[in-house]
Amino acid sequence: MLTSARAVVAVLATTAMLGYLAQPVQAHSGHSHGKSLRSVAPRDLRIGTAVAGGGHHLEQPYPDPFTYDRPYRKVLAKEFSSASPENQMKWEFIHPERHRYNFGPADAIVKFARENGQAVRGHTLLWHSQNPAWLNEGTFTKAELRSILKNHIFTVVGRYKGKIHQWDVANEVFNENGEYRQENIFIRELGPGIVADAFRWAHQADPRAQLFLNDYGVEWPGGKVDAYEALARQLLAERVPLHGFASQAHLSMRYGAPDQLRGVLQRFDDLGLKTAITELDVRMDLPSGGVPTAEQLATQASYYKTVLDACLAVDDCNSFTIWGFTDKYSWVPVFFPAEGAATVMWDDFGKKPAYYVLRDTLAGARR
């Protein structure tokens, strides 16, 4: 029942989208029929997804998705040319004890990516969240804390040297007002200058990796974007190896369309930086019964398209990643109980209008 209701809304939504969207989408839908996202994308644009595992998955009644879900792995390999470990390279996961690293799951993703011609986005090195208890609750001198961060960066970045396309070196370092987050233990204890050091160390450990600032809530201009622009200017002036600025793009249909994102990305492109979309998803309030309406699916697809169009319109936006491709494993319902359906595929990997709109837009892209 659910499946057929869903099929009907999907058709209605696709029809609504085609009416809603500009002509080129219709013109290209025939050519890309049956093809994957990665196969129709412009050659200079990586199409990525988060690789499900760790984090909220550990609390769910299923085994590790990346390791055990074969249909999931098949879609992952077919559709994407970039892979971002969702949790498997975060401190609490990869460095669970002070003198012990847990590289197995991250190694497996890097191996899979190489076997399938995929780039890897490393995520993340300097963040306030998902740090291990030994770090959060330990007592360290400033010198010890600094060497803990330095050793972590050299160890993790060094291990994957030459195999990581882009690293999210500094993740979510500012709050909404553009102030440094004091929850970040390294920034609080060592001061904001530690951000520059993290970039320097990552660059020494892997000189070819592109090093990024990454955050959510930067899809519209405001205090946070201003703070990132000021930080980027400062780091560049100090010749710190900063290469890019990324918008996570966790969107909710409770708020407006991301129609100013292109302008935000352009501000960083103008500084000579690369830009990227790193964690796109579009959540919505689910009607009782849990099936989105055709109109909701059409709006969702238009948000996805607006973000992709923004990236395509900016010269050095070379990486476009969605935060998971199936609702089956999305983080959204775990964090936002009333919301869901945020990804481009249903639980059974059936494709939503958002998937088709991305594919048609990629197929029609001229760059």
Catalytic residue set: 172, 279
Residue nearest to ligand G3I according to CB distances in the complex = 55
Strands (E), the chain: 46-51, 82-85, 119-126, 166-171, 210-215, 244-247, 250-252, 274-285, 317-322, 339-340
Contacts 24+ apart (CB under 8 A), 111-115: 112/66, 112/73, 112/76, 112/77, 112/83, 113/82, 113/83, 113/163, 114/163
Amino acid at 187: I
Least Cβ distance, residue 250 to ligand G3I (angstroms): 6
Size of the residue set binding ligand G3I (CB under 6 A): 13
Dist CA 326 CA 53 (whole Å): 13
Choices 40-48, 54-62, 65-73, 309-317; region in contact with ligand G3I by CB under 6 A: 54-62
Which residues inside 160-199 make contact with ligand G3I, applying CB under 6 A? none
CA–CA distances in Å: residue 310 to residues 73, 147, 175, 325, 353: 29, 39, 24, 20, 19
334-353 residues in contact with ligand G3I (CB under 6 A) are 334
Nearer to ligand G3I, 132 or 364 (CB): 132
- Residue 281 binds ligand G3I, judged by CB under 6 A: no
**Residues 126, 91: Cα–Cα separation, whole Å:** 9
Contact string 233-272 vs ligand G3I (x = CB under 6 A)? ---------------x------------------------
In whole angstroms, the minimum distance from the beta carbon of 135 to ligand G3I comes to 13
- Taking CB under 6 A as the rule, does residue 147 contact ligand G3I? no
> How far from 127 is each of 17, 21, 41, CA to CA, in Å?
38, 38, 31
Using CB under 6 A, pick the residue from 40, 47, 55, 268 that binds ligand G3I.
Answer: 55
59 in contact with ligand G3I (CB under 6 A): yes
By C-alpha distance, which of 314, 310, 252, 312 is closest to 281? 252
Residue 331, interface with ligand G3I (CB under 6 A)?
A: yes
Distance CA 306, CA 323 (A): 16
Among 35, 56, 150, 188, binds ligand G3I (CB under 6 A): 56
Query: Is residue 8 a contact residue for ligand G3I (CB under 6 A)?
Result: no
Among 69, 219, 269, 279, which residue sits at the site for ligand G3I (rule: CB under 6 A)? 279
Q: Which residues pair with 82 in a beta bridge?
A: 48, 119
CB of 162 to ligand G3I, least distance (A): 24
CA-based R_g, the chain, Å: 20
Span near ligand G3I by CB under 6 A; candidates 53-61, 66-74, 143-151, 355-363: 53-61
Q: Can residue 97 be called a binding residue for ligand G3I (CB under 6 A)?
A: no
Under DSSP, the state recorded for 260 is T
Establish how many alpha carbons lie within 13 A of residue 172's alpha carbon, considering only the half-sphere containing its beta carbon: 18
Handedness of CA 323, 324, 327, 332 (dihedral sign): negative
The interface region with ligand G3I, picked from 17-25, 50-58, 143-151, 233-241 by CB under 6 A, is 50-58
Residue 129 binding ligand G3I, by CB under 6 A: yes
**Under rule CB under 6 A, residue 11 binds ligand G3I:** no
Binding site for ligand G3I (CB under 6 A): 55-56, 58-59, 86-87, 129-130, 216, 248, 279, 331, 334
